[in-house]
Amino acid sequence: MKEINVVIGGPQGSGIETSMSILSKISAGKGYWILAEREYYSNIVGRHSYIIARISSERQPRSLTLPVQILAAVDAETIFTHYNDIENGVVIYNKIDEKVRLDKIPSMEDLLKLRIMNELKGLGIDPSVSGLMEFMKRERGVEPLPIDFAQILGKLSESYRLDPRQLSRYVSTIVVSAITTLLGLDEGSMKIALSSHFRDREEIVEQNFAVFREVSKLLSEKRGILKLEEPKNTSKKMLVLTGNEAVAIGKIIGGLRYQSYYPITPAADESEILEKFGLQEVQGKIFGPILVMQTEDEISAIASAIGASLSGARSSTATSGPGFDLMVEAISWAGMNEVPVVITFYQRGGPSTGLPTRGGQSDLMAAIFSGHGEFARVVLASGDHEEAMYDAADAFNIAERFQVPVIHLLDKFLANTTASIPIPKLDEFKVDRGIRYKGTGDYKRFDLSSQISPRAFIGERGAFIWYTGDEHDERGHISEETENRIRMYNKRMEKIKLIEEEVPSWRKLNLTGSTSPDFIIIGWGSVKGVALEALEKIEARTGFKGTYANLRMLWPFPRKELKEITSKLAPEKIIVAEHSYGANIASLMATDIKVDEVASIVKYTGRPMMLKEFVEALELILSGKTSRVVLKDGA
């Protein structure tokens, strides 16, 4: 097999995230590429959580897809929830769950339970795990693989004299061990992965490895039945990280000195990662130290980041939609005072609290237009882990070069996805701190003689600085005089034109695909991966050649570059893709480049776009059957 797709599910808090981490490290350690995304409910323990992963021997996966070939279930709820997500594969599950009936699962949402109950009734399936297994074996080509979890954990408890209350911690290892056995991966890979995950905890490593040996022995006859081909990645050197980690590394490389945050999903993970860093040596360069501050609320977070920037530190804050709403007044203050500050904005499903642990891209307009009055800002978007790392670093350069707030848009899908990527060449990154005060002459912080005024830091010798939220003169003193108002307003707003002129086109958008396309897909953020793979599938199936326009700078909107691309195609051959109801990027296109009535592929379930459903949507649009497709896949 060239690739394998996997779903691992169980109650929140049962070690599903650990399973993803260990499986990723095992795969990458053998030279396989992996992409794995975590979906979970907004509670601490108990509700259904799952990982969907794609492991490839050929190349780096860019998207996830259904159906899968392995469904690994820690509990019965996982089997009922995902029974439609597997074909011609293996279901790994706890033998004791065979008697569990759907109506007896208390943790399941009533609406979901009712929907599945009606589906099973329509198919004539007994709503028990055993009844469902019989159906899947008969109709879906699925092989049930029951494992006696209690037996394995009992042997572990006897061997290491463990407290029975601790045994649930090892269930995730049973699942991962079964998967690695089916894939035919060796003991050495498992030992290395466990040692990496449980670093400096040798006893825990040995206990988990004992579980692996026991599972491997029980499934010896099934070893390698889903074996992958030898990996084509000859170097076998990869970086395995989440989107949150990619952003954190990028900020370190970019010279971050101060990060503030108030805990919110899924942004908090990034700050918690940064809290672990002091002085760091990366590729021969020393970075840090970094001060990370958990503030009392998001207002304090953005205000303190602005204060750190005024004192000369490269500073940022990280938040999600509800937190960003609270920051807006202070971001307007930064716009008025030309403060270079970075706001890392992880989107999730709104409005209000919405889907706090699910993804979305419906905050685009908020990032671009929120705030009272008018002021220049830059909005960046990242489509994958490598872009996220580079954009997080470059956001500081853009902020300080143009002295504006920079909002770096990501989404939950990217944040909570683990990927194996090539080792980045970060030595090529250069720090640009913009125009600095030279320490001579009569200093005017808001000097009108140039578009970008030299910047001095608070406390810097010879520089007397006043900052206020009011309109001000060149020195920062409050002024309501009309001529001064016009000149100051123009100075701030005309930075937008300066940014449009000076930021290179490659930084604004990237094109991938045919140079003479039959259609074009326009998207941003995590849509990138599924769109790129869908282009290949569509050309193979239909012969239609397409191009993907990956928007990386959403504001100032790349109108010139996008107009040049879209002018060559009829509107019905222009397809926008976005995790929102309204395909908001289409609204910007209609306003800025006068292109409307375009086709759209949208998804707002809070789950990621899957390759299979995206390809099917493209086929419908290209055949002329519809101009709008709403995607639904995902539990």
**pLDDT, mean of residues 75-81:** 97
Confidence band, pLDDT 50/70/90 cuts, at residue 270? very high
Per-residue burial over 266-305, b = 16 or more CB atoms within 10 Å of its CB, e = otherwise: bbbbbbebbbebeeeeeeeeebbebbbbebeebbbbbbbb
117-125 average pLDDT score: 96
Identify the pLDDT of residue 285.
73
> Which residues have a Cβ under 8 Å from the Cβ of 450 and sit 6 or more positions away?
435
- Crossing angle of helices 187-197 and 202-218, rounded to 10°: 150
Task: Write the pLDDT tens digit of every residue in 224-244.
Answer: 999 999 998 766 678 999 999
- Please tell me the predicted confidence (pLDDT) of residue 235: 67
Q: What is the pLDDT of residue 181?
A: 96
Cβ atoms of 565 and 598 within 8 Å: the answer is no
Q: What is the pLDDT of residue 585?
A: 97
What is the third-level CATH fold of 3-222?
Answer: Pyruvate-ferredoxin Oxidoreductase; domain 3 (3.40.920)
State how far Cα 203 lies from the chain centre.
Answer: 33
> Terminal CA-to-CA distance of the chain, rounded, Å?
26
Task: Tell which wins on pLDDT, 196 or 6.
Answer: 6
Residue 104: DSSP 8-state: G
pLDDT band at 525 (very low <50, low <70, confident <90, very high): very high
Neighbour-count burial of 459, counting CB atoms closer than 10 A to its CB (0-12 exposed, 13-18 middle, 19+ buried): exposed
pLDDT above 90 as % of the chain: 85
**93 token code pair:** 């599950």
At 248, list the tokens. Answer: 């954190």
- The pLDDT confidence band at residue 306, using thresholds 50, 70 and 90, is very high
Give the pLDDT of residue 394: 97
**Beta carbons within 8 Å of 456's beta carbon, 6+ residues apart:** 436, 437, 443, 445, 462, 463, 465
Give the mean pLDDT of 565-569.
91
Query: Does the pLDDT value for residue 162 go beyond 80?
Result: yes
Query: In which band, very low, low, confident or very high, does the pLDDT at 273 lie, cut at 50, 70 and 90?
Result: very high
Give pLDDT, residue 283: 65
β-pairing, 342-347 vs 519-524, is unpaired
Residue 214, Ramachandran bin (φ over 0: left; ψ between -120 and 50: alpha; else beta)? alpha
Report the alpha-carbon distance of residue 72 to residue 285 in Å, rounded: 43
pTM: 0.95
Q: Is the pLDDT of residue 282 over 70?
A: no
Average pLDDT score over residue span 383-402: 97
- Predicted pLDDT at 14: 86
Same fold, 242-428 and 507-630: yes
**Taking the domains of the chain in order of start, what are their residue ranges?**
3-222, 242-428, 435-503, 507-630
Residue type, 25: K
The alpha carbon of 634 is separated from its chain's Cα centroid by a whole number of angstroms, namely 16
Q: How far apart are CA 536 and CA 531, in angstroms?
A: 9
Instruction: Report the pLDDT value the prediction gives residue 439, as an integer from 0 to 100.
Output: 82
Q: Which pLDDT tens digit goes with each residue over 3-38?
A: 999 999 999 888 899 999 999 999 998 999 999 999
Element (H, E) at 294: strand 291-294
What φ, ψ does residue 386 adopt, rounded to 5°? -65, -45
Pick the CATH number of 507-630 from 3.10.690.10, 3.90.480.20, 3.50.50.60, 3.40.50.920: 3.40.50.920
Residues of the chain with pLDDT > 70: what percent? 98
Q: Which residue, 296, 311, 307, 350, is CA-closest to 330? A: 307
| Mean pLDDT, all residues of the chain | 94
Question: What is the model's pLDDT at position 307?
Answer: 98
Look at 159-163, 248-252, 391-395, 545-549 and tell me which has the smallest mean pLDDT. 159-163
Residues in the chain: 635
Task: Round to whole Å and give the CA distance between 335 and 306.
Answer: 11
CB 28 within 8 A of CB 55: no
Residue 98: exposed, middle, or buried by beta-carbon count in 10 A (0-12, 13-18, 19+)? Answer: middle
Q: Note the pLDDT of residue 186.
A: 86
- Mean pLDDT for the stretch of residues 115-135: 96
Maximum average pLDDT range among 14-18, 200-204, 324-328, 563-567: 324-328
pLDDT in tens, 396-452: 999 999 999 999 999 999 999 999 998 887 777 899 999 999 887 789 999 999 999
Query: If you search the block for the tokens 């990242």, which residue do you land on?
Result: 382
According to CATH, what is the number of the domain 242-428?
3.40.50.970
Structure tokens at 520: 């074009």
Among 304-318, 527-541, 562-576, where is mean pLDDT lowest?
562-576
H-only helix segments in 33-85: 76-82
Distances (CA, A) of 442 to 111, 433, 438, 474, 521: 69, 22, 11, 11, 53
